[in-house]
Structure 1
């Protein structure tokens, strides 16, 4: 009689997935430290990276080692931020943000994944004009008008630029420099985001055919699987958005 994956096999798969997430978080902490100071209280970007790591159940010792590495105290290899622009299936615009200690390896890996999955690497500023860097905090409000009003009131009082209610979620949008203050104000109001961060938000989204969207999601998954890739932004209209 056949059996499914063993408990040990499932655990090993989960451990591998967790290790990959930790690798990305450690790099984010390292770069945030290097870009500012080693004190999270005086470095909003580092504080956000540490909060994200704690939410992923990373130990404080691991976080402290990453900060030490970023400060250069351990003599480790310098990490740097890289941004690649390109196109996915159907001409969907892509921005691929990376943290790396080897630019040659990273660009080769990114180009390979794009070429094998219906995409291609573009030149600098080929698609960046289609995106705006901003802070985003997403709350699950389930279409509840009272919850949406609570998020709206707290966000606007804290200096957010906009609140978008759709698909059962309230998305708070703010300038990057206001992200920390807006996030803390919302937490103080008893609102905990299911996703929060500063990234590239498309100015407009484009509709794509179902088969193109399927290819695109495979491409994004493979890019996300690369250790050096921290975030992939795109301007495709997702099914839930297209239905509204």
Structure 2
């Protein structure tokens, strides 16, 4: 999958997240607590907790806050009543969207998700309606200025599957979920720190949106991410450079 403007899209999402720091912290704490409840409070022995821990650090959450959340989860407590549920749907021009939630009331959550879809020209779909377009993979994205040859050499030796160059000069290391931590550690040990890194649901095809469709879809994605029960939103949309520029004006 070649990205049209992947680096610009990543910067746009990171900027949007920075404006919602308090809400993001709440969701990260919830993820850490649930991960620790299920697999224990030691991130070295719990891959899901390690991933949540690293996400929290990447969002500048204090380490003592992360530790307290992990300890609370490992000891039981507030996370025990939360169910994990995934919803799938469509945005403008057939854009595929998947939403992972943690909730203590599924009826409330699905109602909120359906409302946001309907408000922004989208549609909540059935289970599996867009899921086949996504696969769980590790993704480590480097800025256009990074040394791609060095990154590729280290990443492949550590077990990465591929390195993909995007149209705007950035490049992405792709891994199997189980190899992500080892590849990330090897790259960082070599002084190669990715600008963005995560285990995510990566789309097999991309829908590029500009103009009014892009504006509507941005509002849809923002509306979903604003919901308290929503943890992660995945999409196969990449916005054109013009659409991204307009969104910052």
1:86-235 equivalence runs, <5 A: 86-142=89-145, 147-166=147-166, 167-208=168-209, 210-235=211-236
C-alpha root-mean-square deviation of aligned residues, in Å?
Answer: 2.3
How far the C-alpha of 1:72 sits from its partner, in A, is 4.2
Q: Mean Cα displacement is larger for which, 57-66 or 149-158?
A: 57-66
Distance change in 2, residues 1:92/1:61 (3 Å):
same
Match of 2:141, SS state, is strand
How far the C-alpha of 1:220 sits from its partner, in A, is 0.6
Highest CA radius of gyration, 1 or 2? 1
Contact kept in structure 1, 2:101 and 2:232, CA below 8 Å: yes
How far the C-alpha of 1:217 sits from its partner, in A, is 1.1
Q: 2 CA distance for matches of 1:192 and 1:160? A: 15
Q: 2:67 aligns with which of 59, 64, 67?
A: 64
Distance change in 2, residues 1:237/1:53 (3 Å):
closer
How far the C-alpha of 1:76 sits from its partner, in A, is 5.1
Contact kept in structure 1, 2:55 and 2:198, CA below 8 Å: no
Contact kept in structure 1, 2:160 and 2:179, CA below 8 Å: yes
Q: 1:46 aligns with which of 25, 46, 49?
A: 49
Match of 2:109, SS state, is helix
Higher-RCO chain (CA-CA 8 Å, sequence separation at least 6): 2
Match of 2:191, SS state, is coil
Q: 2 CA distance for matches of 1:173 and 1:138? A: 9
Match of 1:58, SS state, is coil
How far the C-alpha of 1:46 sits from its partner, in A, is 0.7
Match of 1:41, SS state, is coil
**1:107-126: per-residue Cα shift (whole Å, max 9, x none)?**
12111111101111111111
Output the TM-score relative to the length of structure 1.
Answer: 0.84
1:17-36 equivalence runs, <5 A: 17-36=20-39
**1:192-221: per-residue Cα shift (whole Å, max 9, x none)?**
112111111111113445221221111111
How far the C-alpha of 1:190 sits from its partner, in A, is 0.7
> Which structure 1 residue ranges, 5 or more long, are not aligned?
1-13
Match of 1:54, SS state, is helix
Distance change in 2, residues 1:76/1:99 (3 Å):
closer
> Which structure 2 residue ranges, 5 or more long, are not aligned?
1-16, 242-249
Question: In the alignment, does 2:29 pair up with 1:37?
Answer: no
How far the C-alpha of 1:27 sits from its partner, in A, is 1.2
